Structure 1
Amino acid sequence: MHLEYFQLIDRILDLNTAEKTITAEARVPEVNTIFEGHFPGHPIMPGVLLIESMAQTSGWLLLALMKFERMPFLAAVKEAKMRGFVSPGELLTIEANVLHEGSGYAMTEARVKVGGKLRCNATITFSHVPFPNPELRGHMDAEAKRVGFPQQALLP
């Protein structure tokens, strides 16, 4: 997890396009300037970054389902619930599944767990459009390699 670059997913553990599910993981850094203010003496991962980790995981699932032809962008977050603290150094397991697809939008249901225990969950809506430019597409291709995106997911 590289918070300063908003790279909140370390690797994809499982991607099942038939079942429309994904599991990813990320290790919260032991030390990061974000923890200096959130909170002094009691560092915890900000809820907005946990939501972003669920959104990024969901985004990888949608990229796979759309065969990397369209880019998902966060459109709405509903019923996000923080159910426990996430501390520096903890290993996050992030799961997502598709609830609905159609008309240029997709909805996912996502969860963050630590040691099998639910720490947060949300319903997330995305709009998706063709990649707006080659630079973004190239960046996403490089990120796909970094997180271990299974290229076989793109085969017909």
Structure 2
Amino acid sequence: MRLEYFQMVDRIEAMDLDAGTITCRAVVPMQSPVFEGHFPGHPLMPGVLLLECMAQTGGHLILARNGYEKMAFLAQADRAKFRSFIVPGDVLEAHSKLTHEGSGYAVCEARLLKDGKTVADAEIRYRVVPFPSLELKEQMLGFVRTLGHPDVA
């Protein structure tokens, strides 16, 4: 993870475009300015960043399902639950399953696991639109190649 850059996913472990599922790996860094304020002497991963990790996982699935021509932007999060504290060095497994796609929106059921146990989950809604600029598209495609996206042009 690169928290300061909101790059929450380190690697795509598995993706099934037909089934609409994805599994990603995210390792919480040992050091980050985020932990200086959250909380001094007792660093915890902020819940909002756990939600972002789940959102990015589903976003990678939606990006691939749309042939890398459309991007998913977080629009809404429902029923988010944070069940356990996450600390520097924790290794997370992020899962997302597409439950709706169409009319410019997509919805995923997402969850984060640590040591096989669910630590967070949420329903995430995305607005799916063409890339707003060629520069953003090129930057995004360059980044997703490093994560193990399938068939990136």
Q: Does 1:27 align with 2:11?
A: no
RMSD: 1.1
The residue correspondences of 1:76-87 to structure 2 (distance < 5 A) are: 76-87=76-87
TM-score w.r.t. the length of structure 2 is 0.97
In 1, Cα distance between equivalents of 2:69 and 2:145 = 17
The percentage of aligned residue pairs carrying the same residue is 48
Q: Any unmatched runs of 5+ in structure 2?
A: none
Correspondence for 1:8: 8
Any unmatched runs of 5+ in structure 1? none
Which stretches of structure 1, 4 residues or more, deviate above 6 A after TM superposition?
none
Return the alpha-carbon distance in structure 1 between the equivalents of residues 32 and 73 of structure 2. Answer: 27
Distance 2:65 2:149 in 1: 12
Residue 120 of structure 1 aligns to a residue whose secondary structure is strand
Q: How many residues align?
A: 153
* AA partner of residue 78 (structure 2): K
**Is the partner of 2:45 in helix, strand or coil?**
coil
- CA deviations 1:36-73 (Å, max 9, x no partner) are 11112221100000000001010000011111111111
Match of 2:17 in 1: 17
Name the CA distance, whole Å, in 1 between partners of 2:70 and 2:36: 38
1:125 aligns with 2:125: yes
Letter in 2 for 1:52: E
TM-score normalised by the chain length of structure 1 = 0.95
The residue type paired with residue 147 of structure 1 is L
One-letter amino acid of the structure 2 residue matched with residue 23 of structure 1: T
Letter in 1 for 2:117: K
Separation in structure 1 between the aligned mates of residue 3 and residue 130 of structure 2, nearest angstrom? 27
Aligned to 1:116: 116
**1:138 lines up with 2:129 in the alignment:** no
